[in-house]
Amino acid sequence: MRQMNSIVGGGPGERADFLQRLAPDLRKLIEEQQLGITYEKIDLPLAAVIADMERVGIAVDPKALETMSLSMEKEVRRLEKEIWALAGAEFNVNSPTQLADILFDKLALQPPARRGAGKLRSTAADVLEKLAEKHPLPAKIIEYREIAKLKSTYVDSLPKLIHPETKRLHTSLSQTGTATGRLSSSDPNLQNIPIRSELGRQIRAAFVAEKGKILLAADYSQLNYASWLIFLTIRCYWRRSETAKIFTHEPPRKYSALVPWRRRQNTAARRKRLISELFMIVAVRIGAAAQYRAKRSCPFINAYFLRYRGVKEYLDNVLMETRKTAMTRTLFGRIRPIPEITSPQVQLRNFAERTALNSPLQGTAADLIKLAMIAIDKRLTAEKLEAKMILQVHDELLFEAPKKERENLESLVKEEMEGVYELAVPLVVEVSTGLNWRDMD
């Protein structure tokens, strides 16, 4: 876009004319890369859906953020004093240079052996985590930075971005902002609000429904997990009792209480454990997680590969094909170039191999939720509902609707999201509602 602006002068009319003349060449390129169906069925119709979401925006309670800001400021000041006490001197906690002097000179802490080039006295998060094993100060620095970052990035910034006329936040959603194909959010970025920390959940509480309305969140609770199974077991004989035994290290007789897609027994802890195990398969497969070999993941991986040899074949074939073509494809044909797959540099090549194994799975998950967004938008229009899709965060869709439409909307969203595409394993959607984005049930 910058190059186009410099060529045509940057005027809106000139840019539009330039794009119109460029369109035939771009279309030819799409067809050459076999991306015509992906463009026509996903990217093009999704553009209108995204435009509507950006226009509608989301309501935010500025008073709640103001109260939070004051509380976080007190917490930052308290941590600052504790840090000074542990350091034995007052210094600018936000200064990496001054912090390095305290850590490595005054406290004589030894930096980790593995350091980035030109950062012999790094105070990055990974360095502080290592140093925290030796002294309590680095842990306090990590806590201080987390609160200060959330305060400046969201709590203090969001009120300034509220539109003066609509009184709502209007983020920008992009289809080309990530390499995996997922949508990205900017100005403000609403996809990076942490959901596992209490502070992150407090920030979500400031995102509210307008009077007389509710928020409805629909989450593909196991989309990543399902994507792994789709690709990793596609050539394997699927027997539920054996799969349960492998995934949970439990005997088959307990299967009924352990299968991950049975919502009644589906806990967040078990889901996280299953996802971690599956991702570790790929990490260990390419030697990227040697530190885990002695832990319980290793026997799990060995048992899985022994039981399902097709999985290993799939992983090997992905790497072999990527080395030939220097790209990967999702289930729906979306490509990701990975030219580094044949790099002579071992570190760069290993990273490319991890990317090659992950991209088709993450990309397919992204395409699935895009297709669901398109289908839901059509249904909302066809059934003349007032409900609006207002935000997409990874595998979660957020809606705002009149309270009277709650049941209809929940049924519609679950039906479209779970039935968006027939896969080897079921897609499960968890729906919750509330007056704000945090307190959903």
Contacts of 298 (CB under 8 A, 6+ apart): 284, 292
Cα 298 to Cα 315: distance, rounded to the nearest angstrom: 17
Backbone dihedral angles phi then psi of residue 219, each to the nearest 5 degrees: -125, 125
Q: Does a structural domain hold residue 48?
A: no
Q: Which of 364, 390, 424 is at the close of a domain? A: 364
Q: Does a structural domain hold residue 83?
A: yes
3-state secondary structure 368-405: HHHHHHHHHHHHHHHCCCCCEEEEEECCEEEEEEEHHH
Q: Does a structural domain hold residue 425?
A: no
DSSP E strands, 81-222: 168-169, 172-174, 184-186, 207-208, 213-220
First to last CA, the chain: 43
Residues 17 and 115 in one domain: no
Task: Give me the CATH number covering residue 298.
Answer: 1.10.150.20
Region of residue 34 (left: phi > 0; alpha: psi -120 to 50; beta: else): left
Q: Does a structural domain hold residue 253?
A: yes
| pLDDT of the residue at 192 | 87
Q: Which of 138, 155, 172 is at the close of a domain? A: 155
| Domain limits for position 20 | 1-32
- Encode burial over 143-172: b for 16+ CB neighbours within 10 A, e otherwise: ebbbbbebbeebbbebbeebeeeeebbbbe
> What is the share, in percent, of the chain residues with pLDDT greater than 70?
76
pTM of the model: 0.80
Cα 248 to Cα 245: distance, rounded to the nearest angstrom: 6
3-state secondary structure 32-84: HCCCHHHHHHHHHHHHHHHHHHHHHCEEECHHHHHHHHHHHHHHHHHHHHHHH
Residues 358 and 233 in one domain: yes
Q: Which of 364, 392, 421 is at the close of a domain? A: 364
Highest-scoring range by mean pLDDT, 116-125, 290-299, 329-338:
329-338
pLDDT tens-digit readout, 73-84: 999 999 999 999
Give which of 33, 1, 19 is closest to 174, Cα–Cα: 1
- In which band, very low, low, confident or very high, does the pLDDT at 56 lie, cut at 50, 70 and 90? very high
Residue type, 311: V
Give which of 419, 421, 373, 420 is closest to 399, Cα–Cα: 373
Q: Does a structural domain hold residue 81?
A: yes
Q: Does a structural domain hold residue 200?
A: no
* Average pLDDT of the segment spanning 147-170: 94
| pLDDT of the residue at 289 | 42
pLDDT tens-digit readout, 78-106: 999 999 999 999 999 999 999 999 999 99
pLDDT tens-digit readout, 395-416: 899 999 999 999 999 999 999 9
Cα 24 to Cα 32: distance, rounded to the nearest angstrom: 12
CB 335 within 8 A of CB 328: yes
pLDDT tens-digit readout, 276-311: 555 555 554 444 444 444 444 456 666 666 776 777
Cα 99 to Cα 80: distance, rounded to the nearest angstrom: 12
